[in-house]
Amino acid sequence: MPNSDLVLARTGGRELRRIIYTPEEIAARVKEMGDEITRHYPAGEPLLVLGLLKGSFIFLSDLVREITRPLQVDFLVASSYGSGTTSSGELKLLYDPNADFEGRHVIIVEDIVDSGTTLNRLVPLLRSRGPRSLELCALLHKHVAPHLALEPRWVGFHAPNEFLIGYGLDHSEDFRNLPFIGSL
C-alpha cells in the first residue's frame, strides 16, 4: 500500500511511486548478512565496523546487533565535491576519527552503492591506514557504477535504478525515518 494514510502521515503527504522493501524483508536480509559476517572472520581477531554517515545509521545499528561476535563501531562523514560523473573532485572528510586500523579487520558499511564516486575516493585512503583487511558491506547496490575501487563482499539487495528513500536514505534530508525502502 504505497500511499496509505499511514504512509502519507509519515511522508507528510508526499506520494511514493512504490514500496520496494518492507521492514520485514529488510530485517530478514540484515539478519542473514549478520550471520555471513559473523562466519567470515576468525574468532579472536579484532573487527571494526565503520559506518559512513549519515545514510548508514539505521542499517548499521540493526546490522551490528546481528553480528554475534565482539566488534567495535566507528563512523566517518565524507563529502565529495566536483561533478558526480568525473573522478576529479575532492574528497572531504567532515568527521574522521582516524581510528587505528593496524591489525584490525575493517568493514565499511554503506547505505547504497550508486555511482561509487565517494567510495572510490575513500577506499585508497582507508587502505593506506594499513587495516588487516578491508571489506565493504552495502545494504543496496544499484550496479550502475562503471568502476569500483572495492566490490562489496556483502550486499543486502540488488536495487533498481530509481531514487530510493527510507531506512536511512534521504531526499534532501527527509524520509530517513521511514521503516521501509521506497522510491519517489
Regarding 11 and contact with ligand IMP (CB under 6 A), the answer is no
Pick the binder of ligand IMP from 3, 38, 87, 115 (CB under 6 A): 115
Largest Cα–Cα separation, the chain: 51
Separation of alpha carbons 92 and 87, rounded Å: 14
92 prior amide bond cis, ω within 30: no
Which entry of Mg ion, ligand IMP, none binds 116, CB below 5 to 8 A by partner kind?
Answer: ligand IMP
Q: DSSP labels for 102-155? A: BT-EEEEEEEEESS-HHHHHHHHHHHTT-BSEEEEEEEEE-S--S--SS--SEE
Pick the binder of ligand IMP from 108, 111, 131, 155 (CB under 6 A): 111
- How near is the Cβ of 95 to Mg ion at its closest, in Å? 14
Which entry of Mg ion, ligand IMP, none binds 138, CB below 5 to 8 A by partner kind?
Answer: none
Neighbouring C-beta atoms of residue 69, cutoff 10 Å: 14
Applying CB under 5 A, the site for Mg ion has a residue count of 1
Collapsed DSSP state (helix, strand, coil) of residue 39: helix
Active site residue 114: yes
Which entry of ligand IMP, Mg ion, none binds 11, CB below 5 to 8 A by partner kind?
Answer: none
Q: Which residues are catalytic?
A: 114
The site for ligand IMP (CB under 6 A) is made up of 55, 110-118, 163-164, 169
The site for Mg ion (CB under 5 A) is made up of 55
